[in-house]
Amino acid sequence: MKKTIALVTGGYSGESVISYKTAATIQQHIDSSKWNHYLIDIHPSGWFHSLASGEKITVDKNDFSITIDGNKILFDAVLIALHGTPGEDGKLQGYLDCLQIPYSSCDTATSALTFNKRYTVAVAAFAGLHVAKSMHLFNDTIVTPEEIAATLTLPVFVKPNNGGSSIGMSRVNEPAGLQLALDKAFKEDSQVLVEEFISGREFTIGVFKSKGNIIPLPITEVISKKEFFDYEAKYEGASQEITPAQVEESIANQVRAAAAKAYSVFNCRGVVRIDFIYNEAKAQPYMLEINTVPGQSAASIVPQQVRAMGWSLQEFYSALIEDCFNR
Ligand SMILES: Nc1ncnc2c1ncn2[C@@H]1O[C@H](COP(=O)(O)OP(=O)(O)O)[C@@H](O)[C@H]1O
Ligand SMILES: [Mg+2]
């Protein structure tokens, strides 16, 4: 019998705009000969499935079901196309764990951990991966620009610790610029990460698991026309993404190995995308962050990488769904 999948999208943050685009790509490529699927919108005003007529069916949160014309539909698995909270930070994962419904993403602990950039690099460093030196600031504990300048070597990146999409992030070259950058980041989050700048080429790489194997996708090099890969560079075309990256095989191997190691150390599931800067002087990739629900709009990096691997998106999403049942 065909299994029934809930494709979950939306979310409570500004990233919902991207979530809807990710869900549109998946819907376009999901193999309907293999899976029945229903789109579920996790919206601040409620959790809904919309019928073709426009009628909104409210999800019964007791068992994550919907009832259409008196027929109750329960889901065999959930495919998560939701960036930001609550689909990427472990909250939805915890709820689905309580209901024993399998899902396509990392588990609750890994999702919550990797949503926190500082905790992510701390665990990565513990596992021997290279990361930038950094300070973790909280809004109720005052740390002065002087203390930061005495602890870290400028330039630094000042980022909201839990944010995404580069909102509230600044690069600071001079101590005089620190306070403004801190104020900007604290507007977005109660925790801020101040990280030393790593110079080098930027690579980002999708990794997924299928039939027990960790599979790194082809690497993408990100070349930003702006000072860094900020929101405008990411979503408004001010960056160039080259897939597969034109890079020496030895460097590509290092990036792939670091990505596969991170996937394994963090006990990831489904497709994640890991950002790195390759520093020539140290001849090492430095891990910046792990995105556990990476963007998958038509123009996004992961779909580009899947195509570069020679897979169709249909095969890829079937592999991700099948993996939900192998846990
Ligand atoms: N420590 C760093 N050194 C050099 N570049 C960085 C550093 N941190 C962030 N960046 C730049 O800023 C971009 C966004 O940072 P990232 O930590 O990946 O946050 P986001 O969640 O916004 O993607 C990166 O893609 C990279 O271009
Ligand atoms: Mg990033």
pLDDT in tens, 208-256: 999 999 999 999 999 987 666 665 666 666 789 999 999 999 999 999 9
- Whether residues 7 and 100 fall in one domain: yes
CA distance 262 to 78: 24
In CATH, what number is assigned to the domain containing residue 150?
A: 3.30.1490.20
pLDDT at res. 233: 62
DSSP 130: B
289 lines ligand 1 (CB under 6 A): yes
32 assigned to some structural domain: yes
CB environment 227-248: b (16+ within 10 A), e (fewer):
eebbbebbbeeebebebebebe
CA of 1 to the centre of ligand 2 (A): 40
Q: 56 lies in which domain range?
A: 3-104
Among 178, 196, 214, the domain boundary falls at: 196
Domain count, the chain: 2
How far is ligand 2, taken at its centre, from the CA of residue 165, in Å? 7
85 in the same domain as 22: yes
Alpha helices by DSSP H, 130-177: 145-151
Under 8 Å between Cβ of 202 and 279: no
Residue nearest to atom 8 of ligand 1 (CA): 157
- What's the maximum distance between 2 C-alpha atoms anywhere in the chain? 66
Q: Is residue 191 part of a domain?
A: yes
Cis bond upstream, residue 218 (ω within 30): no
CATH of the domain at 24: 3.40.50.20
Residues of the chain with pLDDT under 50: none
Instruction: Tell me the C-alpha distance between 214 and 262, whole Å.
Output: 11
The ligand that comes nearest to the alpha carbon of residue 287 is 1
One domain for residues 82 and 151? no
In a domain, 275, yes or no: no
Report whether residue 111 contacts ligand 1, using a CB cutoff of 6 Å: no
Counting from 1 in the atom list of ligand 1, the atom nearest the Cα of 228 is: 27
What pLDDT, on a 0 to 100 scale, did the predictor assign at position 235?
61
246 occurs within a structural domain: no
Distance CA 130, CA 258 (A): 9
Q: Are residues 95 and 153 in the same domain?
A: no
170-172 and 156-160 beta bridge pairing: antiparallel
Check whether residue 10 and residue 67 sit in a common domain.
Answer: yes
Give yes or no: residues 95 and 146 share one domain: no
Pairing of β 77-80 and β 3-10? parallel
Does 229 contact ligand 1 (Cβ within 6 A)? yes
The CB of 164 under 6 Å from ligand 1? The reply is yes
Does residue 300 form part of some domain? Answer: no
Q: In what order do the strands lie in the sheet with 134-138?
A: 134-138, 191-196, 156-160, 170-172
Please indicate, yes or no, if residue 109 is contained in any of the structural domains. Answer: no
Q: How many residues in total does the chain contain?
A: 327
Residue 254: inside a domain: no
Torsion angle, alpha carbons of 94, 100, 105, 109, to 10: 40
Residues 6+ apart with CB under 8 A from 198: 132, 277, 279, 286, 288
Question: Does 277 contact ligand 1 (Cβ within 6 A)?
Answer: yes
Domain C-terminal end among 174, 196, 218: 196
Any ligand 1 atom below 6 A from CB of 275: yes
User: Which of left, alpha, beta for 70 (phi over 0: left; psi -120 to 50: alpha)?
Assistant: left
Residue nearest atom 21 in ligand 1 by C-alpha distance: 164
Does some domain include residue 23? yes
